[in-house]
Amino acid sequence: MENHDIRILQFERRQSENNVFRGNAGQLPTLDLVGSAELSIEDADLEVADFDVEGPPRIEQVSIDGSEQRVFNAAVELNYTLFDGFRGKYRYRQLQSQNRTTELSTRIEMENTLLEVAIAYLDVLRERENVKVREENLVISEERLMRIREDRAFGTATELDVLNAEVNFNADTIEVTSAKTDLENTRRNLSFLLGMEDEEVPNPVDQFSVNRDLKKDALLANALEENGALLLAEEQIKNAELGKNISVSGRYPSISLRGSYGYFRQRIDASNLPLIETLGVTAGVTLRYNLFNGSQRNREIQNREISIKSNREQLKSIQKEIRTEVMNTYSRYSNTLEQIRLSRLNLETAEKNFENSREAFQLGQITSIELREAQVNLLNEQLRINNLTFLAKQNEFVLLILSGRFFSDEI
């Protein structure tokens, strides 16, 4: 499937995975190559003290116009944090948690998108079945019109009967045309969701079945463990707790190691040391401990604690919301199955009634209006069962998503 939203989510998922590495958490050393060159030309006035004479030193004044100073520096620098109050460890775990959050968010968006695709697929099947039912109904209306016209020719039907039959035939023709338009619209919607051109979308198969064995208690228990929104809320709590640990780590000192190997050259015209040149290794350890930062760290920790409490409260709200959604959707699901059962009984009755009415009409025992009434009743029951069947399958999809089983169950 080439759905654009899903492809975008996959790119975001890869980007999130790339962010999870220890270097992004500050746990790896850094190695830099640095260099600089500087040239300055100045007019210099110098006073040079001569201490070799007796008494006070003799001061000589020297003026140099256009004195040049050249400085060259190149080095390889290594920096590594030996200890930072476990900030790097918690930061790496937070990156993992953020990646998990992105993964769950992607899963939720993909579930919603795939649900939308599944519903669009069902809509195509439903509208195609509606077209089939209405076309069959149109054939019945055409047969009825032809029969009434024949009866009119023999004087056994009135002109009013013919007009009524023509009105019914034209109305059914309009319904067929409208149903075909709805079918084309649903196909275009499905092709968009699949990321395909209209002519590339294969004809959906008619074969599917509604799972009538879903159990409310099992769905609810699974939802409270595997629902994507619930898992996301739990991961956000972990992320907030890690954020607090990072803030607390600021209370500890940090120890860092630095080292460099470099070359330094300085030439100054107006100096007793006109040339300085060095090549070698420099190493050092730095200890840093913050004694006071205006209570910023304490406020930051307090805010982290508030965020944790807020996320925990949100988790409770989502748990209740998921429970309510499962109960409500299951109620619609089971009620729809019961309606299908009753509608099938009505359909059997409507089919028998229509066949009896058609025979009675041919024998002249009932009017064309009574036949039309039996025909409409049959049509309504056929359409009702069709719509209820697809509604039950749609509720089944929603229950699978709520229970976290949409990708694991065969649909």
pLDDT tens string 123-138: 999 999 999 999 999 9
Q: What gap in Å lies between CA 371 and CA 380, rounded to an integer?
A: 14
**54-95 pLDDT per residue, tens:** 767 777 777 778 888 899 999 999 999 999 989 999 999 999
User: Which domains can be identified in the chain, with CATH numbers?
Assistant: 84-253+289-402 (1.20.1600.10)
In angstroms, what is the C-alpha Rg of the chain?
41
At 121, which amino acid appears? Y
Distance of CA 84 to the CA centre of its chain: 35
Task: State the Cα–Cα distance between residues 264 and 408, nearest whole angstrom.
Answer: 66
> pLDDT for 233-255, tens place per residue?
999 999 999 999 999 999 999 99
pLDDT at 410 exceeding the cut of 50 = no
Beta bridge partners of 63: 45
Q: Over pLDDT 90: what percentage of the chain?
A: 66
**3-state class (DSSP) for residue 259:** strand
Look at residues 322, 321, 331 and name the one whose alpha carbon lies nearest to residue 404. 322
pLDDT at 305 > cutoff 90: yes
pLDDT at 180: 95
β-sheet bridge partners, residue 279: 263
Would you list the DSSP string of 281-326?
EEEEEEEE--S-STTHHHHHHHHHHHHHHHHHHHHHHHHHHHHHHH
β-strand pairing of 30-50 with 58-83: antiparallel
Give residue-wise pLDDT tens across range 270-283: 676 788 899 999 99
- Determine the Cα–Cα distance for residues 268 and 68; give it in Å rounded to an integer: 6
Q: Is 136 helix (H, G, I), strand (E, B) or coil?
A: helix
φ and ψ at residue 237, rounded to 5 degrees = -65, -45
What pLDDT is stored for residue 165 in this prediction? Answer: 92
Three-class SS of residue 157?
A: coil
Residue 204 has what pLDDT? 64
